[in-house]
Amino acid sequence: MGVMVASGAPAVPADWWERLAARSIEALVIGVFYYILFIAAWGLLRTVGLLDSFEGRLPGLFAWLVVGSGYAAYDCLAHYRHGRTFGKVIMKIRLAPAPGRALTRADLAKRAALYPGAMVLVGIPGVNLLAGILAFAVGLSILIDRPLQQGIHDKAAGSRVIKEAR
């Protein structure tokens, strides 16, 4: 028997576009934090004379590592506490265990490490291509997996994203 929504009806998987919209909403907010940290790091490194370190990439690398790691931690914590992130709240979707499973903190940490945690690699020159390929693979796996529409990160954690009871 699968996860049931409040009305007792079977849980309906969230559409791919709902999941994309939720992540896009979050990306806008995360992007603001990134640019604030980038500007602060740029100013600090310029002041101490380290701006040219790593061919001038150090402020972006620092900002991306901090913001990306923070987003992965937030993703894990929000799903653990509430079953959803703020993007999922807006889109009226939530995380649920796959049929026959229960989600643990370790499952949610594994899910967040695969995505969005792996996106921390985007800030590292030379490794950023692998992070882009992983992000593409996650999105593609959601599109082709039927009927649960699980991404690679969902399969690893034993989770799925479902529509809220309306």
Residue 127 covered by a domain: yes
Confidence grade of residue 124 (pLDDT, cut at 50, 70, 90): confident
More confident of the two residues 166 and 60: 60
Could you report the per-residue pLDDT of 36-79, keeping only the tens digit for each?
Answer: 999 998 888 888 888 777 777 788 888 888 999 999 999 999 99
Is pLDDT above 50 for 157? yes
Q: pTM value?
A: 0.86
pLDDT at residue 132 greater than cutoff 70: yes
Kindly state whether residue 6 falls inside one of the protein's structural domains: no
Q: What is residue 128's predicted lDDT score, i.e. its pLDDT?
A: 87
In a domain, residue 2? The reply is no
Tell me whether residue 75 is in a domain.
yes
Calculate what percentage of the chain has a pLDDT beyond 70.
94
Supply the pLDDT for residue 9: 62
Instruction: Please state the rounded mean pLDDT for residues 91-110.
Output: 93
Q: Which domain holds residue 117?
A: 16-163
CA angle 165, 80, 124 (to 5 degrees): 115
Domain assignment present for residue 39? The answer is: yes
Domain count of the fold of the chain? 1
**Residue 7 located in a structural domain:** no
Over residues 115-130, the mean pLDDT reads 85
C-alpha separations of 67 from 16, 71, 116 in Å: 25, 6, 11
> What is the residue-averaged pLDDT of the chain?
88
Q: Is residue 57 part of a domain?
A: yes
Q: pLDDT category, 117, cuts 50, 70, 90?
A: confident
Asked whether residue 1 carries a pLDDT value surpassing 50, the answer given is: no
Q: Name the residue with tokens 């049931």.
A: 4
Q: DSSP string spanning 82-93?
A: HSS-HHHHHHTE
Contacts of 47 (CB under 8 A, 6+ apart): none
- Across 11-21, average pLDDT: 95
Q: Average of pLDDT values for 139-148?
A: 92
DSSP state of 84: S
CB neighbours of 10 closer than 8 A, spacing ≥ 6? 2, 4
